Chain A
Amino acid sequence: MMNLESIPIQAFLIVSSSLFCIGIWGLLNSRNAVRVLMSIELMLNAVNINLMAFSSYVDNNLIQGQVFTIFVITVAAAEAAVGLAILLSLYRNRVTVDMESFNLLKW
């Protein structure tokens, strides 16, 4: 059994790195627009885990990381609402959620 008094910070950082990379993979490879939004949420959660780990291990008296996490959660909620509204509007105009068919801005 490991003789430690607490979980090492590296464990949290590795979990958040892996979650971030899974999010990027999903963002690049999804064809469904809803799944792209879900991948963005995964990446934001990875960033939040990182901020929380640092605020608890490096800055455990002022915990400014937790305040930042609150702000990131706020921005993520706003992003999800606006993103899904854009998605609905796109779906109404093109009758599909396939990312490959949203190519009006492609040169």
Chain B
Amino acid sequence: MSIAITTQFICFTVLSLVILVGALGVVLLESIVYSAFLLGGVFMSVAGLYLLLNASFVAAAQVLVYVGAVNVLIIFAIMLVNKKEDLKPINNINSRRIISTSICLTLLSLLIRVDLTNVWSLSNPLNSVGEESTIRIGEHLFSDYLLPFEVASVLLLMAMIGAIVLARRDVMSKDISTGLPVDQELIEKSSEPLLTNKS
């Protein structure tokens, strides 16, 4: 990459700050809608980090798939299930919080220790493919990673069909339990939920 090193440092610092603050906002904010939009910001900043690492194709894929598809899907899901509900208080929430936070901090310190103390065998920057990474990815996908590439397409088809089957309402001509014909109108009637709380 031909950007000056100072510019790279400034870009990296800004992008990392946006990623970490945005991720904290995603998990800590009360409103789930703000969380969803902050998640979009985190995804965009991660794409910026990929650009700093000379990977323009992966950055474009990140923006297309994560911001364009996954984030929009999450926002649609929020619109479909966003109902104000008062959550029941659970017992000993404080001890649960303390245990989970300490587990996360322990894992973080362990990971950072490994990051800083291990000696990484860095390769020579002169061998870098640099701007031609897209060509190299294409060669990989159609030679030594051909089978995973094809399996990924089958996986996407399975996920699509599975999502349709799981998310639609049952379209059956007869009710299973009563045998009466089911009305097929698009608007959902208020019905008794199948698995109400026993308590």
Interface positions of A (Cβ within 8 A of B)? 1-2, 4-7, 9-15, 17-26, 28-32, 34-35, 37-39, 41-42, 45, 48-49, 52-53, 55-64, 66-67, 69-71, 73-82, 84-89, 91-98, 100-101, 104
Q: Which residue of A lies closest to B85 (CB)?
A: A96
Tell whether A67 pairs with B74 under 8 Å between CB atoms, given A9-B122, A92-B169: no
CB within 8 A of A12: which of B49, B145, B159, B196? B49
A73 touches B74 (CB 8 A): no
A interface SS class: helix
In B158-186, which residues have CB < 8 Å from any A CB? Answer: 158-160, 162-164, 166-167, 169
Candidate in B27, B111, B136, B140 with the most chain A CB atoms within 10 angstroms: B27
Tell whether A30 pairs with B120 under 8 Å between CB atoms, given A87-B81, A93-B193, A96-B85: no
Q: Which residue of A lies closest to B107 (CB)?
A: A21
B163 touches A48 (CB 8 A): no
Number of chain B interface residues as a range: 35 or more
B100 touches A29 (CB 8 A): yes
Q: Enumerate chain B residues within 8 angstroms of A67, measured Cβ to Cβ.
A: 137, 140-141, 145
9 interchain residue pairs of minimum CB distance: A26-B27, A78-B159, A85-B166, A17-B111, A85-B167, A85-B163, A13-B115, A60-B128, A28-B100
- Closest beta carbon of chain B to A57's beta carbon, Å: 5
Q: Which residue of B lies closest to A64 (CB)?
A: B140
CB within 8 A of A52: which of B49, B90, B156? B49
Q: Enumerate chain A residues within 8 angstroms of B57, measured Cβ to Cβ.
A: 66
A100 touches B87 (CB 8 A): yes
Q: Which residue of B lies closest to A30 (CB)?
A: B27
Asked if B61 is at the interface of the complex by the 8 Å CB criterion, the answer is yes
- Per-position 1/0 for B133-151, Cβ under 8 A of A: 1001100110001001000
Asked if B14 is at the interface of the complex by the 8 Å CB criterion, the answer is no
CB within 8 A of B88: which of A39, A63, A89, A100? A100
A22 touches B125 (CB 8 A): no
- Complex formed: what's the CA distance from A77 to B50 in Å? 18
Q: Enumerate chain A residues within 8 angstroms of B193, measured Cβ to Cβ.
A: 92-95
Q: Enumerate chain A residues within 8 angstroms of B85, measured Cβ to Cβ.
A: 96-98
New A-B contacts (5) at CB < 8 Å, excluding given A14-B116, A22-B23, A35-B35? A6-B125, A26-B26, A77-B159, A91-B81, A98-B85
